[in-house]
């Protein structure tokens, strides 16, 4: 099978505009972090999200780690985290010596169940990390009401949700602190990258300082006449985003609307073509929100052998994946409470190609191959 016959699970939409932006950085002589392009990106993000501050960092995991530090999470504290997600939120809680407490999710959206969160709050609970699951915003009105009653924080993990909305507000502006990802499969990308968005400028300043070893921007210091020698007064981290990546992201942020429109058209085509398939269900988006479509996950009937379906798709050059994780089932986090809905989605969801470069013909081929595969491999699991 030739490369031209393959249909990638993910594909970054990067082109001449992004290349031109990188060339500008090369010419400037400052490719490192926290330079002019980084500052311009932060200003762009701050304006887009109506935030008190925006801090560009190396990835969303770094943003989550900085959020825990800036919010004062201490060893022994408990932070409730959405279970059905890439495990980065739980990792961030562990980084600061705190305890992640896993909350089950809604079966229809895959986002954290507010009632599950309310039931888990205890004397050591200091906050909640909600996740916009593969681009679907969580129930922030209910989550914030719960948090306000108990005096705890809410962090929005909006890693997958750039461009999505909830009750008319944009993902990334749905909690006091939000964390974005600009990984290669996201709606806006620089290959790797992230940002911390916050309503509180003081939290932003804390995160920015910690992201640069605790001494701030070397670029800024180089502009001062004389010889400023910064002092290291606390332990910081090297979480800076290069100006090369920042320049790419300035272009990509401006293209969010265009790229999301194309992803949404793919999602609509999938939904129409698969609507009558009894052996799987397609995503349903509640009326009060819109989806960023970072991934498109179908949920297979329990009779279908997912591994066999994936093998059949890949044999035809069609990319696919398991979706995301039931975090509580991962060995590093074993021993916590069960999250049965998350575990079920982890076992039955299948991610099929989703990106802005897919053609209608490619979507039709994916659907035809998927339909044949699920029908061929229905009953295999129960027979086993």
| pLDDT value for 384 | 34
Phi-psi region of 34 (alpha: psi -120 to 50; beta: other; left: phi over 0): left
Total length of the chain: 384
> Which token pair is 359?
């053609």
DSSP string for residues in 90-124: HHHHHHTT-EEEEE-B-TTT-SBPHHHHHHH--TT
- Bridge partners (DSSP) of residue 124 are none
| pLDDT value for 6 | 97
Closest CA to 98 of 63, 133, 124, 61: 124
| pLDDT value for 3 | 57
Buried/exposed 319-343: b ≥16 CB within 10 Å, e otherwise: bbeebbbbbbbeeebeeeeebebbb
DSSP string for residues in 198-216: ES-HHHHHHHHHHTBTTS-
State pTM to two decimals. 0.95
Which residues of the chain form CATH 3.90.1150.10? 256-383
> Which token pair is 284?
């349903």
Strands 78-82 and 99-103: parallel
Say which residues have a Cβ less than 8 Å from residue 86's Cβ, sequence separation at least 6.
159, 324, 325
Say which residues have a Cβ less than 8 Å from residue 100's Cβ, sequence separation at least 6.
78, 79, 80, 81, 89, 90, 93, 94, 327, 333, 336
Residue reference for tokens 């981290």: 237
| pLDDT value for 231 | 87
Strands 125-131 and 153-157: parallel
Q: Based on the number of CB atoms within 10 Å of its own CB, is 121 exposed (0-12), middle (13-18) or buried (19 or more)?
A: middle
| Separation CA 352–CA 343 (nearest Å) | 19
- 256-383: CATH number: 3.90.1150.10
> Which token pair is 211?
């992201």
Per DSSP, which regions of the chain are E strands?
53-57, 78-82, 99-103, 125-131, 153-157, 165-166, 169-170, 177-181, 194-198, 280-281, 289-290, 296-300, 349-352
| pLDDT value for 382 | 41
| Separation CA 52–CA 24 (nearest Å) | 28
Nearest-5° Cα angle at 295, 289 to 298: 90
Sheet holding 53-57, edge to edge: 53-57, 194-198, 177-181, 153-157, 125-131, 78-82, 99-103
| pLDDT value for 334 | 83
| pLDDT value for 184 | 95
- Torsion sign, CA atoms 114, 116, 119, 123: negative
> Which token pair is 325?
């994780």
Q: What is the dihedral of CA 297, 298, 302, 305, to 10 degrees?
A: -80
pLDDT, tens digit only, all 384 positions of the chain = 555 689 999 999 999 999 999 999 999 998 998 899 999 999 999 999 999 999 999 999 999 999 999 999 999 999 999 999 999 999 999 999 999 999 999 999 999 999 999 999 999 999 999 999 999 999 999 999 999 999 999 999 999 999 999 999 999 999 999 999 999 999 999 999 999 999 999 999 999 999 999 897 787 777 777 788 888 988 999 999 999 999 999 999 999 999 999 999 999 999 999 999 999 999 999 999 999 999 999 999 999 999 999 999 999 999 999 999 999 999 999 877 899 999 999 999 999 999 999 999 999 999 999 999 999 999 844 433
Strands 53-57 and 194-198: antiparallel
Which residues of the chain form CATH 3.40.640.10? 16-104+111-254
| pLDDT value for 379 | 83
Q: Which fold has domain 16-104+111-254?
A: 3.40.640
CB 165 within 8 A of CB 137: yes
CB 67 within 8 A of CB 177: yes
Q: Indicate the DSSP class of residue 225.
A: S
């Amino acid at each position: 099978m030739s490369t031209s016959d393959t249909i990638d699970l993910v594909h970054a939409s990067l082109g001449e505009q992004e290349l031109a932006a990188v060339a500008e950085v090369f010419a400037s002589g400052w490719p490192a972090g926290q330079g002019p392009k980084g500052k311009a990106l932060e200003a762009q993000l701050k304006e887009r999200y109506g935030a008190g501050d925006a801090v560009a960092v190396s990835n969303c995991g770094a943003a989550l780690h900085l959020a825990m530090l800036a919010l004062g999470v201490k060893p022994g504290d408990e932070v409730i985290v959405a279970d059905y997600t890439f495990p980065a939120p739980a990792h961030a809680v562990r980084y600061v010596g705190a305890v992640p407490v896993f909350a089950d999710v809604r079966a229809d959206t895959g986002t954290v169940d507010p009632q599950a969160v309310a039931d888990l709050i205890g004397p050591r609970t200091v906050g909640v990390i909600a996740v916009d699951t593969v681009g679907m915003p969580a129930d922030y009105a209910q989550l914030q009401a719960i948090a306000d009653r108990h005096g705890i924080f809410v962090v929005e993990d909006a890693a997958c949700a750039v461009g999505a909305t909830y009750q008319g507000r944009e993902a990334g502006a749905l909690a006091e602190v939000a964390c974005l990802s600009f990984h290669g499969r996201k709606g806006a990308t620089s290959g790797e990258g992230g940002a911390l968005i916050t309503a509180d400028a003081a939290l932003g300043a804390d995160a920015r300082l910690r992201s640069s070893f605790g001494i701030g921007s070397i670029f800024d210091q180089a502009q001062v006449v004389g010889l400023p020698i910064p002092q290291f007064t606390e332990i910081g981290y090297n979480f800076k985003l290069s100006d090369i990546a920042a320049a790419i992201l300035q272009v990509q942020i401006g293209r969010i609307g265009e790229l999301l429109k194309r992803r949404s058209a793919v999602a609509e085509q999938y939904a129409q073509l698969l609507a009558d398939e009894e052996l799987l269900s397609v995503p349903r988006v509640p009326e009060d929100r819109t989806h960023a479509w970072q991934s498109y996950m179908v949920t297979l009937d329990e009779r279908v052998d997912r591994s066999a379906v994936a093998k059949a798709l890949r044999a035809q050059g069609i990319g696919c994946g398991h979706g995301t994780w039931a975090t509580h089932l991962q060995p590093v986090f074993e021993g916590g409470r069960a999250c049965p809905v998350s575990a079920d989605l982890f076992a039955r969801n299948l991610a099929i190609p989703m990106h802005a470069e897919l053609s209608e013909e490619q979507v039709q081929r994916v659907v035809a191959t998927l339909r044949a595969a699920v029908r061929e491999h229905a009953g295999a699991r129960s027979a086993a």
